[in-house]
């Protein structure tokens, strides 16, 4: 066999299918194809079996990473050349023929990469790269390589001073298309499995050149690399994983001083990129509140001016009352929108209208409670409330046509549902749903054990399934799942804004007593999970307000609390968000699992009980109940009953 094509896939079924079509369109070369699937939940394996039976498919039960997965196929391959190919690529019909011919004519070549373009036809600079030494990394991190791309000194990272249409010897090949001579791999070893994702291509390229072979950039064939369909390359997580891979490389290949300098640069890059991302997120989060403040201010000024013109004279309203009302109204409406979820993405008019309604109510309550000397006009207040109620949703709707992500509306159409249970029970539930819901789409069945044929994944992959299929609702079959397992899974997915139902053939008190044989057998379970955005906001607000209250009454509170120094420390830890006043309970130094992550608490609901009466089961139930049905009153009650323990 002349060539083995090795593709590692993870949840990119449609790209993989397109890639395989292009691979099998190749001519004039004897090759075989390996697809190593890292436990995808999007039906990739079923697609390969059905449409490409000639593929040698390796189905992993876990995501073992890029290096390990490639090595699985490399060990099985008996070809003269191995090609590591990303699933989000498309090759030309004669790509394989050309690259193999070049390698045959250049026995010094240990590896080869090709010219890559993205989905819009733009050249991808990572088609050719230099070794990321400390100097090269410095020029890249600080943007000098972008400012001076044609400089041999500053443009070294992507070798941007070299002609994209000429063949060159390069230091580093891209893992998206990496043709390797098998005899060289047998000599130097395959991919280093210390790298889970990213960095393994740099490491292998470097080992090829250290062994006395060359890496070539070959532009006589071009491939499309959609780039980043398997990962979010702009995310903080990507930055962290990528740069940590660079740290592994530095420790492995650079000497002491160079390694230290490189690692220091990388750590700086991580924090620098993280700071930029946080700044960008802060600005994006500020756009809607600022826009709303402008709309409210415009309504206020416009209606006030109109009312003065019609009924009074210009300047009728007193400046001090005007200023107080102006800022108070804006603040109340913005806070009401924030706590009602009016700034969550995508925009839901239900949350928007709820926030505006309560904002109007609070504005009117404030008006009625103020002394006469501070009251603004009741009529103007009512007119401003009405105009704000109309204008803010209208502006949101108009701006949604800009297609900007911050103005994206949540316009649900068909109800997308995933069912967790056995095939038999899932089909039973599906039949009931189809009889009761007109706009329905079953995205798939989820196994309660290991994934097998007929399932899109198993219950341990629910988070990934939700990201791939984006269901509006998940239905659990209580015949096979305990209530505790169901609730824990609901909590773990609570930040994804998914509705849940439980279909029960038994009489479980948590959901009711009807059977699946009667209509109305699917019970909605409202989980007010602690990780819902609104609850995160409420919990943080409680922490700040309660800390402020404790500081105000410090002369009294410090007498009541047992550990006084730790109490003072806890106040400031909570203020600076490293702790929360209330968290999960621990049992005999054992942690808690399968619950949404929250900050470490100073106290918990278990502190209300006598320690001798606590059991592992009781502590677990207390944690589940706290995470499942969060209320700000819960934190208030727990802190009240455990006040003396706030120095824990």
Residue 198 is predicted with a pLDDT of 62
What local confidence, expressed as pLDDT, does residue 317 receive? Answer: 66
Question: What are φ and ψ of residue 72, in 5° steps?
Answer: -60, -45
Structure tokens at 237: 């997580």
Tell me: do 590 and 619 sit in the same domain.
Answer: yes
Query: What domain range is 217 assigned to?
Result: 3-128+164-230
Are 306 and 448 part of one and the same domain? no
Q: Say if 628 falls within a structural domain.
A: yes
Domain boundary residue, one of 352, 386, 405: 405
Domain assignment present for 64: yes
Let me know: does 9 contact 16? Beta carbons within 8 Å. Answer: yes
Q: Which residues pair with 523 in a beta bridge?
A: 502
For the four alpha carbons of 398, 400, 401 and 402, in that order, the dihedral sign comes to: positive
pLDDT at 133: 65
Structure confidence at residue 231 (pLDDT) = 45
Q: Are residues 219 and 301 in the same domain?
A: no
As a whole number of angstroms, the distance between CA 280 and CA 500 comes to 33
Alpha-carbon distance 521 to 515, whole Å?
Answer: 6
Asked whether residue 93 is domain-assigned, the answer is yes
Q: Is residue 92 part of a domain?
A: yes
Which pLDDT does position 241 carry in this prediction? 57
Give pLDDT, residue 511: 38
Residue 145 lies in a domain: no
3-class DSSP state for residue 452? coil
Domain contains 596 = yes
Residue 596, C-beta contacts closer than 8 angstroms, at least 6 positions apart: 491, 492, 494, 495, 529, 530, 531, 627
Q: The CATH number of the domain where 518 resides is what?
A: 3.40.50.720
Number of domains in the chain: 4
Question: 636 near 542, Cβ under 8 Å?
Answer: yes
Which tokens hold the place of 435? 């009889």
What pLDDT is recorded for position 576? 92
Q: Is residue 425 located within the same domain as residue 515?
A: yes
203 and 62 in one domain?
A: yes
Same domain, 356 and 310: yes
Q: How far apart are CA 137 and CA 145, in angstroms?
A: 9
pLDDT of residue 464: 87
Residues 62 and 108 in one domain: yes
For residues 61 and 169, state if they share a domain. yes
**Residue ranges of the chain with pLDDT lower than 50?**
228-234, 506-520
Q: Judge if 466 and 566 occupy the same domain.
A: no
Q: Which of 492, 524, 556 is the last residue of a domain?
A: 524
Residue (of 644, 648, 604, 602) closest to 627 by Cα position: 604
What pLDDT score was predicted for residue 350?
Answer: 86
Are 94 and 29 contained in the same domain? Answer: yes
200 touches 110 (CB < 8 A): no
HSE-up of residue 248 (Cα within 13 Å, Cβ side): 19
Pairing of strands 214-225, 168-170: antiparallel
pTM: 0.65
For residues 543 and 580, the answer to whether their CB atoms sit within 8 Å is: yes
Of 384, 405, 426, the residue at which a domain comes to its end is 405
In a domain, 156, yes or no: no
Q: How many CB atoms lie within 10 A of CB 130?
A: 16
Residues 6 or more apart in contact with residue 494 via CB below 8 angstroms = 527, 529, 530, 531, 532, 596
Kind plus residue range of the DSSP H or E element containing 134 = helix 134-141
338 within domain boundaries: yes
421 Ramachandran zone, left/alpha/beta (phi>0; psi -120 to 50): left
Residues 443 and 547 in one domain: no
Q: Are residues 36 and 171 in the same domain?
A: yes
Cα(521)–Cα(595) distance, integer angstroms: 28
């Amino acid at each position: 066999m002349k060539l083995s094509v090795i593709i590692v896939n993870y949840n990119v079924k449609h790209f993989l299918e397109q890639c395989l079509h292009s691979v099998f369109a190749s001519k004039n070369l004897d090759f075989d194809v390996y697809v190593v699937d890292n436990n995808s939940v999007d039906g990739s394996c079923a697609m390969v079996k059905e449409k490409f039976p000639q593929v040698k498919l390796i189905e992993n039960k876990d995501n073992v990473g890029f290096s390990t997965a490639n090595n699985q196929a490399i060990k099985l391959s008996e070809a003269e050349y191995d090609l590591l190919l990303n699933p989000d690529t498309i090759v030309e019909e004669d790509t394989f023929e050309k690259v193999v011919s070049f390698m045959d004519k250049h026995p010094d070549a240990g590896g080869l990469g090709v010219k890559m373009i993205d989905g819009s036809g733009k050249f991808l600079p990572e088609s050719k790269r230099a070794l990321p030494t400390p100097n090269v990394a410095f020029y890249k991190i600080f943007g000098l390589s972008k400012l001076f791309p044609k400089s041999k000194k500053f443009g070294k990272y992507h070798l941007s001073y070299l002609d994209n249409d000429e063949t060159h010897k390069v230091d580093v090949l891209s893992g998206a298309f990496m043709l390797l001579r098998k005899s060289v791999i047998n000599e130097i070893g395959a991919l280093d499995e210390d790298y889970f994702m990213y960095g393994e291509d740099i490491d292998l390229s470097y080992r090829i050149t250290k062994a006395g072979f060359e890496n070539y950039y070959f532009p006589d064939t071009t491939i499309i690399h959609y780039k980043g369909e398997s990962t979010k390359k702009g995310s903080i997580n990507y930055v962290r994983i990528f740069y940590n891979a660079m740290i592994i490389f530095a420790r492995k290949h650079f000497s002491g001083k160079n390694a230290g300098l490189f690692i220091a640069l990388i750590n700086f890059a991580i924090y620098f990129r993280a700071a930029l991302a946080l700044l960008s997120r802060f600005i994006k989060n500020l756009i809607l509140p600022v826009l709303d403040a402008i709309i409210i201010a415009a309504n206020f000024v416009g209606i006030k001016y109109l009312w003065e013109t019609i009924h009074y004279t210009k300047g009728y309203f007193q400046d001090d009352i005007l200023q107080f009302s102006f800022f108070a109204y804006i603040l109340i409406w913005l806070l009401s929108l924030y706590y009602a979820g009016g700034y969550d993405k995508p925009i839901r008019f239900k949350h928007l209208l709820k926030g505006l309604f309560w904002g109007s109510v609070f504005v009117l309550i404030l008006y009625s409670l103020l002394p006469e000397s501070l009251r603004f006009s009741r009529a103007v207040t009512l007119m401003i409330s009405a105009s704000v109620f109309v204008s803010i949703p209208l502006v949101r709707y108009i701006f949604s046509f800009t297609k900007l992500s911050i103005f994206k509306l949540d316009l649900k159409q068909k109800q997308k549902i995933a069912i967790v249970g056995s095939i038999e029970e899932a089909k039973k539930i599906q039949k009931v749903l189809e009889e009761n819901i007109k706009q329905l789409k079953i995205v798939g069945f989820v196994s309660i054990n290991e994934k097998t044929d007929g399932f899109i994944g198993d219950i341990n992959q629910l988070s990934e399934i939700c990201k791939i299929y984006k269901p509006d609702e998940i239905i659990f079959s209580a015949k096979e799942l305990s209530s505790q397992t169901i609730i824990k899974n609901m909590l773990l997915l609570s930040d994804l804004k998914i509705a849940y139902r439980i279909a029960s053939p038994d009489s479980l008190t948590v959901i009711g007593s009807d059977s699946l044989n009667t209509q109305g057998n699917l019970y909605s379970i409202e989980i007010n999970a602690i990780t819902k955005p609104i609850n995160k906001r409420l919990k943080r607000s409680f922490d700040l307000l309660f800390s402020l209250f404790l500081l105000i009454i410090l002369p009294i509170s410090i007498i009541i609390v047992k550990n006084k120094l730790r109490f003072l420390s806890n106040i400031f830890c909570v203020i600076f968000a490293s702790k929360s006043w209330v968290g999960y309970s621990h049992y005999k130094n054992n942690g808690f699992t399968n619950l949404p992550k929250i900050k470490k608490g100073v106290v918990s609901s278990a502190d209300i009980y006598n320690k001798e009466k606590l059991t592992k089961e009781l502590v677990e139930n207390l944690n589940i109940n706290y995470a499942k049905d969060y209320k700000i009153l819960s934190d208030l009650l727990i802190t009240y009953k455990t006040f003396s323990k706030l120095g824990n």
